[in-house]
Amino acid sequence: ELYDNYRIDPLVQTLDAVRGEVADDLVFVARLGDEVVGSVRGFTDPDGTGQIGKLCVHPRLQGHGLGTRLLNAAEAALAADRAATRFRLHTGHRSESNLRLYRRAGYAQVGDATGTDGVRLILLEKEAAAQEFVASA
């Protein structure tokens, strides 16, 4: 609804593509009983950049810190298990709640791009050391 575009990548991704990502990427899932209420995926590029994507939280549970916990889990695992030295993610330009979450977590805009679905994306990054510093404070 936010973009009036039901062709955005997460909605049209094939089952084989999802299986490939789940097999290769770090995946964190938040559950409430048997119900999946949030998830995030990540992998590290050869240059040491931890790519974080597909962070989602069920609408009825948004605003309770679950997105922050999923993001923190992905960052910690990418740094510890995959040697990420910085983190990169993107979100749609109208996704104000996502942008607030990422900025509170220390991300800064480094550019923008247009997705294959035509949605303008905001690209954000932060150094891994910044997360380690915050965690140790």
Could you tell me the pTM of the whole model? Answer: 0.82
Is residue 4, in this structure, part of any structural domain at all?
A: no
Is residue 1, in this structure, part of any structural domain at all?
A: no
CATH number reported for the structural domain that contains residue 125 in this entry? 3.40.630.30
Is residue 99, in this structure, part of any structural domain at all?
A: yes
pLDDT score recorded for residue 18: 73
pLDDT tens, residue by residue, 92-108: 898 899 999 999 999 99
Is residue 3, in this structure, part of any structural domain at all?
A: no
Overall domain count for the chain:
1
Q: 2 exposed, middle or buried (CB, 10 Å; 0-12, 13-18, 19+)? A: exposed
Structural domain containing residue 48? 9-136
Is residue 126, in this structure, part of any structural domain at all?
A: yes
Is residue 127, in this structure, part of any structural domain at all?
A: yes
Is residue 32, in this structure, part of any structural domain at all?
A: yes
